[in-house]
Amino acid sequence: MIRRLALVFFLPAAALLAEDPVPPASNPSALRWFEQLKMHYLPKESGFLALIDASEQTVEVHGKMIPVQGQVYYMLTSELPANYLHWLESDDTQILIEGGPVDYFVFHPDGRAEMFTMGRDTEHGQVLVIPVHGGCFKALRLHPGARYVLLANCLSPDWTADRVRIGAGADFVAKYKGKEPWATEDFLKELIGPNWKP
């Protein structure tokens, strides 16, 4: 059962999730997961989300006691293939459950940019788990032709609305442009998507 505390912290998002303005998925497997896990559309970031649980142990962060860890399911589909750029204060561990491949972009505070591909083809460099330190920007893009990807996401400490930022602007592009061959100005803007901040 999802802890009451976790529900409190997700309440602002939950109010938006209830609307589900987009169809869940056309792929039968993705649709099955959507229904079985009771997933909802995630506004601004995009994709689909379902809460799993939150730790009964707590830690003080910015004067508030919050769970030391929280977990969610997250899914991208061919209809919604992008998780747009966002920043989290918490450590964020992504675990592949099914599907993919999906590219995972990480932007570190020191100006480094990395791209990982989550998938089962580990012999060719794909990975099953990606740990990301707190304070990083991140975004995901499902590979063309991939039907969906289902992930488990563990946040430590747990998510709270005051410790997340969605989107970015010119300062972000200037900081990371050219740090990797794929980090062009146009592509970074694509990762930001509809959450561009003038």
pLDDT at 183 over 80: yes
- Using one digit for the tens of pLDDT, what is the confidence trace for 122-149? 999 999 999 999 999 999 999 999 999 9
If one counts every other C-beta atom within 10 angstroms of the C-beta of residue 171, the result is 9
Contacts (Cβ under 8 Å, ≥6 apart) of 104: 94, 115, 116, 117, 118, 130, 138, 139, 140
Residues 6+ apart with CB under 8 A from 164: 86, 87, 88, 89
* Whether the Cβ atoms of residue 46 and residue 17 lie closer than 8 Å to each other: no
In CATH, the number for domain 4-197 is: 2.60.120.10
d(CA 42, CA 13): 8
**Taking the model in full, what pTM does it have?**
0.88
Note the pLDDT tens digit of each residue in 46-95: 999 999 999 999 999 999 999 999 999 999 999 999 999 999 999 999 99
Per-residue confidence (pLDDT) for residue 21, from 0 to 100: 57
Q: Which residues neighbour 142 within 8 Å (Cβ) at sequence distance 6 or greater?
A: 76, 77, 78, 81, 82, 100, 101, 102, 148, 149
